[in-house]
Structure 1
Amino acid sequence: MKLEGKLVLLTGGTDGIGLRLARQLRDKGAQVLVTGRTPERIEAAKAEGFEVLAADLATPEGVSGLLSAVAGRPVDVLINNAGMGVTHDYRTAIPDAAADERILQLNVHAPIRLIAGLMETLRGRPEAMIVNVTSGLAIAPNTGSAIYCATKAALRSYTMSLRKQLEHTRIHVLEVLPPVVDTAMTADRTNKKLAPEACAAEIVRAMERNADEANVGQVKFLRRVYSISPALARRIMLAF
């Protein structure tokens, strides 16, 4: 895809991978609409010149409000990047049901509803793309983040089916599978993390070459292991 001149709607674009991705897409000549929910980050993104749409996509109302805000705008690319993690580990505590509901809404329901709400707009564009950001944990889960892994696996499965459904249309479907990236969500992790700028750069390259799947960083190794032995890949990841 040629990114110059494209109108991109990027969820979760005021921090982490999303903010770096917004900057790099703008450098390629795209017009980027970003979403965010934290007032300080929203103002900081506006100060960089981005158009920011305030939306808490962890609620159904946030999704419907965002769709209303972009109604009639010629969106060429939807990037479902917003996501969150939560501990869901019965070895340490009973999981927080309210937190589980928010992550299910944000990581699964919101992308699906945004795709549905923007489908006719995307169908009408000369060239369009849907980018769903999942995770290496969609391939093989770890132990302590059961809900997060399940949401990313669900979005990965949905993305595969969606790509097949749209294969004869002008809408390309790309799945991005990052490793652990150095963001606010992983601040408490001590293991090796990929810089968010590097992750964003791989996403941009995948978009430009119309890739179906972008395995980022260490996920490339995980995919190779999984192709040889899915059971071994699962054993490795479940050790964490």
Structure 2
Amino acid sequence: MDVNGKVVLLTGGSAGIGREIAHQLKAKGAGVVLTGRDPARLDAMRTEGFEVLAADLSNAAGVDALVAALGDRSIDILINNAGQLVDHDFRKGAPDADAADDGIYANLSAPIRLITALVPRLRDRPQAAIVNVTSGLAIAPAARQPVYCATKAGLRFYTLALREQLRDTSIRVIEALPPVVDTQMNAGNPMKKMSADECARQIVAAIERGRDEANIGMTRTLRIVESIAPSLARRITLRF
């Protein structure tokens, strides 16, 4: 797909991977409408020429407000990038159940609700795409992040089924599976991290090339290991 002239709705576009995706798509001629929760970050992106919409995607009302704010404009590409990393480790103490609920909604329910609302207008476009950003941890989980892993695995399987449903439409369904990326969300993670810029570059390339799946960085290696020995892949990731 040639992204020049396409209108993109990008959730979580004011920081991290999303911010880099926004810049790269804009440089290629796309019109990017991005969402976020931090007013200062949204203001910064607005001054750079992006259209921004404040959106809290941790609940249904926030998703519905975003859809209402879009009005009836045409959308060519929906990128579900927003996500929450929930601290849910019983080895450290009792987890916050409300935080888990918010994370489950933001990571899984919100993309599903947004897709449900926008598929009719995406169908009307001659070329369209839905990009769901999951994670290498959707393949094999890390012990310290069970809620995050569960939601990303859920979104992965939703994406696989959605792709089959929309196979005969103009909408291409793409899954992007990043490794650990150098963002604020991973500030406390000691593992080697990919730059947000490079991760975004590979996601944009997957859109342009019409790929169904983008296994990014170390996720490619994990996918190979998982295809040969799933239990080994789990043993590797569960240590983290």
> If the length of structure 2 is used for normalisation, what is the TM-score?
0.99
What does residue range 9-28 of structure 1 map to in structure 2 within 5 Å? 9-28=9-28
- In structure 2, the residue matched to 1:156 is 156
- In structure 2, the residue matched to 1:50 is 50
Alpha-carbon distance between aligned partners in 2 of 1:201 and 1:151, rounded to the nearest angstrom: 24
Q: Which residue identity does 2:141 align to in structure 1?
A: P
Alpha-carbon distance between aligned partners in 2 of 1:30 and 1:19, rounded to the nearest angstrom: 14
- In structure 1, the residue matched to 2:207 is 207
Superposed displacement of residue 86, structure 1: 1.1
1:183 corresponds to 2:183: yes
Describe the superposition over 1:148-195 as per-residue Cα deviations: whole angstroms up to 9, x where unpaired.
000000000000000000001100000000000011100111221110
Alpha-carbon distance between aligned partners in 2 of 1:64 and 1:169, rounded to the nearest angstrom: 25
Superposed displacement of residue 91, structure 1: 1.6
SS at match of 1:181: coil
Superposed displacement of residue 138, structure 1: 0.2
- In structure 2, the residue matched to 1:76 is 76
SS at match of 1:129: strand
- In structure 2, the residue matched to 1:40 is 40
Q: Which residue identity does 1:6 align to in structure 2?
A: K
Superposed displacement of residue 100, structure 1: 0.4
1:7 corresponds to 2:7: yes
Alpha-carbon distance between aligned partners in 1 of 2:165 and 2:59, rounded to the nearest angstrom: 27
- In structure 2, the residue matched to 1:60 is 60
SS at match of 2:214: strand
Alpha-carbon distance between aligned partners in 1 of 2:238 and 2:3, rounded to the nearest angstrom: 38
Which segment is superposed worse, 87-96 or 100-109?
A: 87-96
Alpha-carbon distance between aligned partners in 2 of 1:3 and 1:19, rounded to the nearest angstrom: 17
SS at match of 1:93: coil
SS at match of 1:52: strand
SS at match of 1:65: helix
Q: Provide the alpha-carbon RMSD of the alignment.
A: 0.6
Q: Which residue identity does 1:26 align to in structure 2?
A: K
Superposed displacement of residue 59, structure 1: 2.0
Alpha-carbon distance between aligned partners in 2 of 1:236 and 1:170, rounded to the nearest angstrom: 39
Alpha-carbon distance between aligned partners in 2 of 1:238 and 1:59, rounded to the nearest angstrom: 29
Superposed displacement of residue 71, structure 1: 2.5
Which segment is superposed worse, 158-167 or 66-75?
A: 66-75
Superposed displacement of residue 235, structure 1: 0.8
Superposed displacement of residue 92, structure 1: 1.5
SS at match of 1:63: helix
Superposed displacement of residue 90, structure 1: 1.3
SS at match of 1:32: strand
Alpha-carbon distance between aligned partners in 1 of 2:192 and 2:226, rounded to the nearest angstrom: 21
Q: Which runs of 4+ in 1 moved over 2 A?
A: none
SS at match of 1:197: helix
Superposed displacement of residue 95, structure 1: 1.0
1:166 corresponds to 2:166: yes
> If the length of structure 1 is used for normalisation, what is the TM-score?
0.99
SS at match of 2:91: coil
